[in-house]
Chain A
Amino acid sequence: MGDDYATRVEDLRARRKKNLAMGGAEKVAKQHERGKLTVRERIDLFFDPGTFVELGLLAQNRDGSDTAPADGVVTGHGDVDGRQVWVIAYDFTVMAGSMGAVGEQFKAARVRELALRYRKPIVWLLDSAGARIQEASGSTFAGTGWLFAEQVYMSGVIPQVAAMLGPCAAGTAYIPGLADFVPMVKGTSSMALGGARLVKAATGEDVSDHDMGGSQVHCYESGVGDNEVESDADCIATVRRFLSYLPSSNTEAPPHTETGDPADRLVEGLDKIVPANPRAAYDVRKVIKAIFDHESWFEVKPTWAKNIVVGFARVAGHATGVVANQPMQKGGALDSDAADKAARFIRMCDAFNVPLVYLMDVPGFMVGSQVEKDGIIRHGAKMLYATSEATVPKVTIVMRKAYGAGYYVMCGKGYEPDTIVAWPFAEISVMGPEGAVNIIFNKQVESSDNPEATRAQLIETIRSQINPYLAAGWAMIDDVIDPAETRRVIVKTIEQSRDKKIDRPWRKHGNIPV
């Protein structure tokens, strides 16, 4: 190499070009054959055009060889809808995206450091075989593990997204485990604490990575994945959409987006969605779509614990987190998974200053021997905890049923709603009339000459006491409203409570049941 200026610059260009080519043409073609985009195509799709700034392009394998362009991970920042976001994106074309010493200890660590320093969201685009075993095996493992501790320090400070675009094996699976949002591409993504080959060695079980940890497991059964998406492009669009509802950090308000949907619009068509018969089911997502700004509903975890519906929506442009019972699934009764799903979502909204809207139609928590074995008391307690703890604006709409602890966890009067209103056919009660008669009047029914008639009469007496005007008459709820007025109530509450401030006694932290 000559030492003149032009030669040095030419050498730099050549080094950049080599690393921008990732694992080479053959590996790139293979990546495409698998139905996946390359890491650089993903980054181009993710950031607003021309905004990506790369750090560490010239990184290489720890041994100094040129076998791992950029050490298999692309890092830097760019804009998403004009706001800065940091990225750590694994390159499967380079040593199967394995996590090397340079990539992890310097590149990924640099992104975590700067994202937290600037209080900006961090996004992992995961497509990685896991730790690069040839560098990591042996007891120098003792010096690793900062990553997860740092993720915990970032939790609730900056939004964290783990986008699953390929495998994510072994300990690395704790990246999504600790993230706020985990979309998974159907067919190509998977995550498991032990990959297939490790599982075979450790336990003898023969199972593929896909069967063990694909989206069909995590978005439907385990609840570790949030939203199953069809392709890399869908996944990236989903991450951008998720970020659009959140502030850059916990010190900011979520962005306000003009939607053109009037704040005082009356909600039409609810009478055709919600049956007057309180025992009949309906799809609460139709209610959400009718109330909130057009096209603004973004459901989270739509395919797991479907008896509760959670997600983001805008109302007059304000981002809100919606928690709604789903009568169409298990009658809307709450169980352990539903409570876990809601509690996690409520805490995310509270951490990032997103107001909460509770749409209540809940027959209560499931009862019986099965749910007790599941530990419903400690799981249900998470939802009580999350709703009590939340200090963001809270709006409670009692649509129909509001029974027992279901009324509490859906932000009943005792849980500091900024507004709590009921629709005219709301049923708020500790339990249904049949259950109440069985417990309170058991002796009276048994000793009656005509037990059935006595029982029926007592049920009717109790039923007549279950109506929203009794609660409104005691001013325990703020109002009974025409369902068409629901949108106005939500908008007014968010605006009235903008300066809400709640101070609780100092503590190190609470002890949430887990």
Chain B
Amino acid sequence: MTEVKAELVGNVWKIKTEPGAQVAEEDELLILESMKMEIPVTAPRAGTVKEVRVKEGEVVKEGQVLVVLE
């Protein structure tokens, strides 16, 4: 199981995956919006999305778990 965490504080702008989805390494899982930038969050490895722990528009903290892969 791999927890994908936010590397900086920001808004969840777009979620591009859902539980059950198969993802490859480097696939975009969601896009954060912070510091005037769209910041893609990608899968650190291939796997299945187990959970998406955030909603679009939600403010997340640095280090907060966004997606869980297995």
Q: Is the CB of A333 within 8 A of B38?
A: no
Which of B17-25, B29-37, B43-51 is found at the contact surface with chain A?
Answer: B29-37
Q: A366-B8, A368-B9 are in contact. Are A331 and B37 (CB under 8 A)?
A: yes
Residue B58 interfacial (CB < 8 Å)? no
| Chain A residues near B35 (CB-CB < 8 A) | 330-333, 363-364, 366-367
Residue B7 interfacial (CB < 8 Å)? yes
Q: Is the CB of A432 within 8 A of B36?
A: yes
| Chain B residues near A333 (CB-CB < 8 A) | 8, 34-35, 37
| Chain B residues near A370 (CB-CB < 8 A) | 9, 61-62
For A261-281 the 0/1 string (1 means CB < 8 A from B) is 000000000000000001111
Bound: A366/B8 CA distance, A? 9
| Chain B residues near A330 (CB-CB < 8 A) | 7-8, 35, 39
Give which listed residue, A329, A331, A401, A434, contacts B34 with CB less than 8 A: A331
Bound: A366/B9 CA distance, A? 9
Q: A330-B7, A368-B9, A370-B62 are in contact. Are A280 and B34 (CB under 8 A)?
A: no
Give which listed residue, A279, A364, A401, A403, contacts B38 with CB less than 8 A: A279
Residue A327 interfacial (CB < 8 Å)? yes
Q: Is the CB of A331 within 8 A of B62?
A: no
Bound: A432/B33 CA distance, A? 14
Q: A366-B8, A368-B9 are in contact. Are A327 and B37 (CB under 8 A)?
A: yes
Residue on A nearest B13 in the bound complex, by CB: A279
| Chain B residues near A278 (CB-CB < 8 A) | 36
Residue on A nearest B32 in the bound complex, by CB: A331
Chain A's nearest CB lies how many Å from the CB of B67?
A: 18
Bound: A106/B38 CA distance, A? 58
| Chain A residues near B40 (CB-CB < 8 A) | 281
Q: How large is the interface on B (under 10, 10 to 19, 20 to 34, 35 or more residues)?
A: 10 to 19
Chain B's nearest CB lies how many Å from the CB of A331?
A: 3
Residue on B nearest A432 in the bound complex, by CB: B36
Q: Which A residues, 330 to 352, have Cβ-Cβ distances below 8 Å to chain B?
A: 330-333, 335
| Chain B residues near A366 (CB-CB < 8 A) | 8, 35
Interface centre among A331, A332, A368 (most CB of B within 10 A): A331
Bound: A368/B34 CA distance, A? 11
Bound: A332/B33 CA distance, A? 13
Q: Is the CB of B39 within 8 A of A331?
A: yes
Chain A's nearest CB lies how many Å from the CB of B12?
A: 14
Bound: A467/B38 CA distance, A? 20
Q: Is the CB of A281 within 8 A of B39?
A: yes
Chain B's nearest CB lies how many Å from the CB of A17?
A: 53
Chain A's nearest CB lies how many Å from the CB of B29?
A: 15
Chain B's nearest CB lies how many Å from the CB of A458?
A: 17
Residue on B nearest A335 in the bound complex, by CB: B8
Residue on A nearest B8 in the bound complex, by CB: A330
Interface centre among B7, B37, B39, B62 (most CB of A within 10 A): B37
Q: Is the CB of A281 within 8 A of B62?
A: no
Chain A's nearest CB lies how many Å from the CB of B21?
A: 22
Bound: A280/B31 CA distance, A? 10
Q: Is the CB of A331 within 8 A of B9?
A: no
Bound: A167/B9 CA distance, A? 38
Bound: A279/B9 CA distance, A? 16
Give which listed residue, A335, A363, A434, contacts B37 with CB less than 8 A: A363
Bound: A309/B62 CA distance, A? 21
| Chain B residues near A401 (CB-CB < 8 A) | 36
| Chain B residues near A403 (CB-CB < 8 A) | 36
Residue on B nearest A406 in the bound complex, by CB: B35
| Chain A residues near B38 (CB-CB < 8 A) | 279-281, 331
Q: Is the CB of A279 within 8 A of B62?
A: no
Residue on A nearest B40 in the bound complex, by CB: A281
| Chain A residues near B8 (CB-CB < 8 A) | 330-331, 333, 335, 366
Bound: A332/B35 CA distance, A? 9
| Chain B residues near A367 (CB-CB < 8 A) | 35
Residue on B nearest A277 in the bound complex, by CB: B38
For B1-12 the 0/1 string (1 means CB < 8 A from A) is 000000111000
Bound: A279/B37 CA distance, A? 4
Q: Which A residues, 30 to 56, have Cβ-Cβ distances below 8 Å to chain B?
A: none
Give which listed residue, B9, B37, B61, contacts A281 with CB less than 8 A: B37
Chain B's nearest CB lies how many Å from the CB of A374?
A: 10
Interface centre among B9, B35, B38, B61 (most CB of A within 10 A): B35
Chain B's nearest CB lies how many Å from the CB of A471?
A: 18
Residue on A nearest B34 in the bound complex, by CB: A331
| Chain B residues near A279 (CB-CB < 8 A) | 33, 36-38
Contacts beyond the supplied A329-B7, A335-B8, A363-B36: 4 A-B pairs with Cβ under 8 Å: A279-B37, A279-B38, A333-B34, A366-B35
Pull 19 A–B residue pairs with CB atoms less than 8 Å apart, ordered by A: A279-B33, A279-B36, A279-B37, A281-B40, A330-B8, A330-B35, A330-B39, A331-B34, A331-B35, A331-B38, A333-B8, A364-B35, A366-B35, A367-B35, A368-B9, A370-B9, A403-B36, A432-B36, A434-B36
Return the 10 tightest CB-CB contacts between A and B, nearest first. Answer: A331-B37, A363-B35, A333-B35, A363-B36, A432-B36, A279-B38, A331-B35, A331-B39, A330-B8, A370-B62
